[in-house]
Amino acid sequence: MRARWYDTAAVRVVCLALLFGFAPFVEAAHQGSLSNLANGDFWWHLRTGLGILQSHAMPHSGLYSQSSTLPWMAPSWLYDVLSAIAYRVLDLRVIPLAAIACKFALAVMAFLLAGGLRGRFWPAVLLSAIAQYILINLPPLPMYCSALLFAAELLLLMGPLSAGDVRWLYGLPPLFLLWANMDVQFVIGVFVLLLFGVATVLEYWGARSGIEWLERTANLNLKSLFAVTAASLIATMLTPYGWRLYGVFFAQVTSAANPYFPGFLALRFRSPQDYVLLLLLAASFLALGMRRSRDLFQITLLLLCAFASFHSQRDAWLATLAAVAVLGFPTSGPASEEEPKSPALQRSQAMFAAVLALLLIVAAAVIHFPRSHTALLAKVGRAYPVAAAAYIRDHGLPQPLFNSIAWGGFLTWDLPEYPVAIDGRTDLYGDDFNIQYAKVMNAEAHFSTFAPFNQAATLLLEKNSLMGKALPAVAGFKVVYSDNVAVVLVREPPQP
């Protein structure tokens, strides 16, 4: 049968090239990540990686901070080291390049997860585009690595679900080995793997007793599943910090200070992405209902990921990718109206489109990326206190320094000779410290009640922040530097 015009190889390749390359191409052309990182965490990750390369040792205390005597671990040490190596080669271009790589990988992984190579080409294109739109503001941090590895885990788990072939699961131990050294949120992946194991065992027992728990019967080798699960758990402990990373994860998730930081707040439905995520989740639950599915793993996965994402904005990637996986899961319903394509042909089309997209992205990067470190730093200075930090350094302003949490990470990289009062390593400082900081910066408590603020000799604050606007008018503080981004104050000696 003659292929429809929209289903020809040329149209598919062009569509995939646009799907894979549009968001990375825009990033390459504008380098928005240089000045629009959602927070300053990338900078302390970079500083940590540079420190590891220099000292050839893992950090066990709060380096570059005024709380340097407190214990601290770097759970994303591999991400930090890779960022530092890339920085030494590429300078600050590593930031937009990391954003480009993450966005490209997300487009590809979402397409695969949605069944793009299983005869569901156009639905997969749509789902991948939706996933990219929802996660468009996800910064290129270890969390992005967790999102990509979570998608890879779902791909490996959905293989046995659809084909009953345990060999799909053999990729899980190396995946968890990488994930555990890349980001502490690997614990989420472990929980999903255990959920899959429990659901499979229940299904197996149901099938053995004649009870149809699902629309299919279990045909996995449970011994192999248990072995893979055990190997995966062991792999998560093959890190410089061993099993202690589990404690770090649960301490972060249950921190009493989380409600004081925007990323941990529940979805507020103030952006279009929130509403699109809601519609995507509704579609995935509707799909399960239309299939009359009693798949315990998919139902529970979707429910738990939806709860986590609605509870915390920063975890929107969980519900997004889980919904894409459920919608892309193969069913035994009516065949698709698309003309079936051979798997080899589909793979070759996808690979050709990916190469084409990469060529366009590289061309955009070569044309638009600044050539000098000064030009790159100028872009960073649109949102970070590049000039203010230089002023503090050049004039040798007195220590200790007080800074906002958003700029703490940047200062560990750009002004390491001035230990920061606080940065994005919230697990380093503890709940009481973080809560006191948030209350002071939101004018819920007087600054004299917070020791780092009360003892600071130099203060570096956002020009348009609440404290940045109020302190210049407070007796005892003198503005010594100000620009469109930052304000620097020093504490004046008391009048006799």
Model confidence band, residue 479 (pLDDT cutoffs 50, 70, 90): very high
Between 159 and 184, name the one with better pLDDT.
184
Q: CA 346, CA 324: separation in Å to the nearest integer?
A: 20
The rounded Cα 333 to chain-centroid distance in angstroms is 35
Tens digit of pLDDT for each residue in 268-311? 888 899 999 999 999 999 999 998 888 889 999 999 999 999 99
Q: CA 115, CA 109: separation in Å to the nearest integer?
A: 10
In this predicted structure, the answer to whether residue 211 has a pLDDT above a threshold of 50 is no
**pLDDT for position 333:** 45
**DSSP state letter for 398:** P
Tens digit of pLDDT for each residue in 5-38? 456 778 888 899 999 999 888 888 877 667 666 5
Helix ranges, 58-171 (H): 77-90, 94-113, 121-134, 142-163
The rounded Cα 410 to chain-centroid distance in angstroms is 18
**pLDDT for position 207:** 57
In this predicted structure, the answer to whether residue 342 has a pLDDT above a threshold of 70 is no
In this predicted structure, the answer to whether residue 203 has a pLDDT above a threshold of 80 is no
Q: How far apart are the first and last CA of the chain?
A: 95
Report the percentage of the chain scoring pLDDT > 70: 90
Whole-angstrom CA distances from 24 to 124, 321, 354, 420, 441 are: 19, 19, 12, 33, 36
**pLDDT for position 159:** 76
Mean pLDDT for all residues in the chain = 88
In this predicted structure, the answer to whether residue 350 has a pLDDT above a threshold of 90 is no
